[in-house]
Structure 1
């Protein structure tokens, strides 16, 4: 007796909501709203999208759907312009998905209080953007067990393979800032880094050292100081670099715009003119950088775009889409009035 003909099952194809959006001509946000039964989508639109979903064999993820359609942004502390830029980017992206953003302030510079993960699980958000160092294994398991998507924003170390993360190209930023000062004739360039245990600080310092090496210059340990990304820290470290006129640098690369503001105050108190006596470069390009006197030359870190990308990553994971797990965004040198060519001795 002959065997029955063998049939080959069709190849599996994961249908994403973005595919449905392209098929129907509606935006991804509209497709998402229709799928979630939102009242601000017309019956006709819902019908068209539902039919497209059925034809494509789309199946909604079986994970728990939270009652609260919000994303939590977890800051160590929410007290400066840097934090505001991050929040603005998250709000901008969340609006297109019809979700809300809530802010949690928890912990210290190194890591939030150990209770933060339990608090988030209890509130059941769609996801969380975590503005701090990498998670512990216990925290990661806590979020994953409840299907709460999370993105580590500017991780302090190499992000875990399974974690989603967003960061800036800090090494290139440090390289371009120092190259700019070298191109103006400066060779004694001080640097005020961020905390040494943060990857972004180490990357910016490595970029600084690489730029010096290109010119055959060695890093001078006496010109390298560790700050904490705050204005007060920038002031203290700038005073240490500048108070001795015999050995002071002719330029300072500050690891954040907030630290640059501290450099400005130290220079003012010491009677040092910017940029005539001291060139200054910051990092971040927060909203007020261009309004300092003189306007600050700085490395633009696209904080709003980074936060918007983190929000989209969470929504993609919520919809079962394939998302890039690790995003590195480019930095840009913004040349303004706080730097100038080195004057002859």
Structure 2
């Protein structure tokens, strides 16, 4: 059940639904009644029957496309297995309603929250942490305090495997397209990449390291073109995710380079995009659905007041070798 569905049924804005769910006093009594009736008609856990388990807020301030959609769907389905409904606050509505998280401790109708890659550090998250509110962060953008539960992929290990794969093929000039500078995943992947180079006795060359501000195909395209201007150009590119890798493949074709005969390209995520483009991407698999399932498992234990010894969980990131990587050309 999403805030948008309730808003459409009640004929109000998504922000109004969020305020009602979070117990805001700024909403008129009649409007609150309309929202609650709409939620009840839709079978939302927000308007649950007496004795039913309270729902969980699933907060994801991004469009629910491939990456985020997979995580949120897994969280919602796993909550259902535990007999709980989900109230999903996502996309622009999540970005616009800054009060949703801050008001959670005062909202008795919500048991806890799963936050998917929330921006941070933010006063809202810090306030929840100070109140010991039960929450789990999936794929945290920044380093979290030790006592905030989180689930993420092993970014450094995955990046290390990619670089080791390319080194084993014979590549020595490897371009690196990093993610947004302030993302924890970006920093960890750079650590893994440089560690693999160091093991092979190779010092990272600053001119082969670049970064993007958003993990999109267009930015991957621009970053790849920049790396192609280096002399000599790299024989392989490591992209931040499958989208940026797809942009790099497009840039290679425009430059007259064949993938993988002239240039190897790798991604990260193992998304449908990476599997469908030509050539299919060698990439790192992020266990997105499993991240959602474990986040719910942690949250259920926190809500029940159980002791949780391991609050920071990192899941394995295996390498998936496909058609976009090969040994460097003989002249390289």
Shorter chain as denominator, the TM-score bin is: 0.7 to 0.9
Separation of aligned partners in 1, 2:184 and 2:62: 19
Question: When the two structures are aligned, how many residues end up with a matched partner?
Answer: 278
Corresponding position of 1:129: 114
Q: Name the CA shift for 1:80/1:138 in 2 (closer, same or farther; >3 Å).
A: closer
Instruction: Report SS of the residue matched to 1:288.
Output: helix
Are the counterparts in 2 of residues 66 and 126 from structure 1 also a CA contact under 8 Å? no
Instruction: Report SS of the residue matched to 1:197.
Output: coil
| 1:91-145 residue CA offsets vs partner (Å, 9 max, x unmatched) | 332221122233323679xx88643423545764222222224444554334664
Flag structure 1 segments of 5+ consecutive residues without an equivalent.
1-64
Separation of aligned partners in 2, 1:112 and 1:344: 54
Q: How does 1:119-268 map to 2 (within 5 A)?
A: 120=104, 124-130=109-115, 131-136=117-122, 139-142=125-128, 145=131, 148-227=133-212, 228-242=214-228, 244=229, 246-268=231-253
Are the counterparts in 1 of residues 284 and 317 from structure 2 also a CA contact under 8 Å? yes
Instruction: Report SS of the residue matched to 2:267.
Output: strand
Out of 317, 320, 324, the position equivalent to 1:334 is 320
CA drift at 1:214: 1.0
Larger radius of gyration: 1
Are the counterparts in 2 of residues 134 and 159 from structure 1 also a CA contact under 8 Å? no
Q: Name the CA shift for 1:322/1:274 in 2 (closer, same or farther; >3 Å).
A: same
| 1:208-255 residue CA offsets vs partner (Å, 9 max, x unmatched) | 11111111111111111111222222111112112x374321100111
Are the counterparts in 2 of residues 94 and 100 from structure 1 also a CA contact under 8 Å? yes
Separation of aligned partners in 2, 1:178 and 1:142: 39
Q: Name the CA shift for 1:151/1:293 in 2 (closer, same or farther; >3 Å).
A: same
Corresponding position of 2:80: 95
Separation of aligned partners in 2, 1:67 and 1:148: 20
Separation of aligned partners in 1, 2:139 and 2:232: 35
Corresponding position of 1:297: 282
Corresponding position of 2:101: 117
Flag structure 2 segments of 5+ consecutive residues without an equivalent.
1-49
TM-score (norm 2): 0.76
Q: CA RMSD in A?
A: 2.7
Q: Name the CA shift for 1:238/1:80 in 2 (closer, same or farther; >3 Å).
A: farther
